[in-house]
Amino acid sequence: MKSKHESFLDLVIYQIYHRSFNDSNNDGIGDIPGVTEKLDYLCDLGINAIWLCPCFKSPNYDNGYDVSDYRDIMDEFGTFEDVKKLISEMNKRGMKLIMDLVPNHTSNEHKWFIESRKSKDNPYSDYYYWFDEPANEWRAEFGGSVWEYDESRKQYYLHSYAVQQPDLNWENPKVVKEMQDIIDFWIDQGVSGFRIDVIDQISKDFSKSNCFGPHLHEYIQAMFDREKTKDLFTVGECFAGSIDEIRRHIDEDRNELSTLFQFNHLQLGRENKWTPKKQSLKVMRDTIVNWQTLFQENDLLHSLFTDNHDNSYLVSRMGNDKELRYESATCMAVMTYLMKGVPFIYQGQEFGLTQSNYDDISCFNDIECINAYNEFIDSGISKEEAIKKISFGSRDNARRPIPWDNSKNYGFSDAQPWIPVHSRADELNLENDMKSEKSVFKFYKKMLKLRKDNVAFRKGEFKMLSSSDDGFFVYTRSYNGEKFTVVCNFEEEAKISFEGMDGEVVLSNYNAYDASDRKDNCFKPYEIAVYKN
Ligand code: GLC
Ligand code: CA
């Protein structure tokens, strides 16, 4: 890997969904000053970069992913000055800010769309896709057709997501220029990188698919293959499913993206978005090893993550989030974050948050799940069954206010939060975690320190040792003669023996006994041990 991408292996990124992170002015909505207040907490954990979900002006149909002004801040989140203050406070602590760029669509309240819909011959008329008739049968991500008739223009426009999120027409060079200017504007404010929303969709082929269109890479290069953007860290939210597609996005020589999110392992533990499926950590191991190996062989920068704002916490689908919550949360962390790549930790993961459980639709907010609920009911599914599906799959699972402590509203806000808090907040809050002998936070902190102190975990070669028929994930990381062996046991107590397991134990999640004196090489459920060889 060349030096530029290799240097990104030092990043440890924390994703913040600020609406639910910390409310500084007690109106029930998390905000930018609320993020600034928690910077020392994040530094203490070992974080050196933040990916902030969209905080731009937005009418909020899709919680900020429907932007109406890319150069200003949503009132609920604070002011432009608050963002500048956040950046300067982050700089003082050596932290980098990664903003969330949404180039595929805007809000229907963006001035470009307001103008565009007025007529076929105004300066913005070709900023979006307009057709006299629906050009195909595509379905929108959030339900219904992607084509919406507009009374004023008397044409249909394309929206891959909600009706309120019209897709931008990247075939129009003016749109490309607008997006370049927005990127440059934020670079000038001191932003160090971008997470780019549904990037594969910006080029379409109307006869085939609304992603991977013929000009995709041209548009990505237009954004990021420029002098001004050459030092940015960029991570694309991608549908790229094959290694060739991935190479086309992030091969360093192409000057497109630094890395991307690859979502195979996030589909684990469920049949589909709304239906669970029992699967073991073995499948998770095989999936992540496959991608880890491919990225390594191709000299590409990988991203390591299990959670984000669009999914319930993976520990609830793939681990045991009841009696063995600490053990499975820490085991999955080691399976993920000691591998080679850039770690992304989603808020709440660092103290073992799980999925919530609610049995009334009024406890949900997200447009995707509300639309899905209505479709379930319309299709004849009972209310009980429908709400079970929503409670399992809703994106709100990752968007409940962070329970910091045992005070009013769990320390998130003095006011009623915008969405009901986590259903297990009495039990699962940071204060309780910190007091517990089994603190997920303290484990994460130790694990991240180990990663920071040893270059082998950042740049070292990854090698998988366990075989497909055992219940273990065993791998080594080595660099310039320095070597570590990582052992993760899956659900059941089991025995295993490997060369490398005689070293000093430098990380363990069962502190009840000295893991170096392990009897018969027996590992307890979800037990991990990291040996220094
Ligand atoms: C991405 C975002 C998601 C959003 C969608 C449309 O998938 O992560 O939250 O709803 O794009 O912008
Ligand atoms: Ca607030």
The model's pLDDT over 165-189, given as tens digits with 9 standing for 90+, comes to 999 999 999 999 999 999 999 999 9
> 197 an active-site residue?
yes
Is residue 446 scored above 80 in pLDDT?
Answer: yes
Tell me the best of 17, 65, 66, 158 to mutate to test the pocket of ligand 1, counting ligand atoms within 8 Å of each CB and taking the most.
65
Task: Determine if ligand 1 sits within 6 Å of the CB of residue 197.
Answer: yes
What are the two backbone dihedrals, phi and then psi, of residue 5, each rounded to the nearest 5 degrees? -65, -35
pLDDT band at 241; cut points 50, 70, 90: confident
Contacts of 450-458 with C-beta under 8 Å, sequence gap 24+, read 450/338, 450/506, 450/507, 450/530, 451/12, 451/46, 451/337, 451/338, 451/343, 452/12, 452/46, 454/482, 454/484, 455/479, 455/480, 455/482, 456/482, 456/483, 456/484, 457/338, 457/484, 458/9, 458/10, 458/340
Q: Pick from 330, 346, 517, 313: which is nearest to 438 by CA?
A: 330
Alpha-carbon dihedral sign for residues 311, 315, 318, 320: negative
| Residue 100 Cβ < 6 Å to ligand 1 | no
Q: Which two tokens stand for residue 189?
A: 């404010």
3-class secondary structure, 325: helix
Confidence of residue 500 (pLDDT cuts 50, 70, 90): confident
46-94 pLDDT per residue, tens: 999 999 999 999 999 999 999 999 999 999 999 999 999 999 999 999 9
Q: Name the amino acid, one letter, at 425.
A: A
- The residue whose C-alpha atom lies closest to atom 4 belonging to ligand 1 is 65
Provide the sign of the torsion angle of the four alpha carbons 455, 457, 462, 465, taken in this order. Answer: positive
Burial of 280 (0-12, 13-18, 19+ CB in 10 A): middle
First-to-last alpha carbon distance for the chain, in angstroms, is 25
Which residue's alpha carbon is nearest to atom 12 within ligand 1? Answer: 65
pLDDT of residue 516: 58
pLDDT value, residue 352: 98
Helix (H/G/I), strand (E/B), else coil: 60: coil
Q: How confident is the model at residue 482 (pLDDT cuts 50, 70, 90)?
A: very high
Alpha-carbon distance 308 to 291, whole Å? 19
Is 126 one of the annotated active-site residues of the chain?
no
With H, G, I as helix, E, B as strand and everything else as coil, classify residue 292.
helix
Comparing CA positions, the residue from 532, 521, 519, 470 lying closest to residue 496 is: 521
Q: Which ligand is nearest to the CA of 77?
A: 2
Q: Can you read off the two tokens belonging to residue 335?
A: 């399976």
Cβ–ligand 1 distance for 102 under 6 Å, the answer: yes
Q: Does ligand 1 lie within 6 Å of residue 161's CB atom?
A: yes
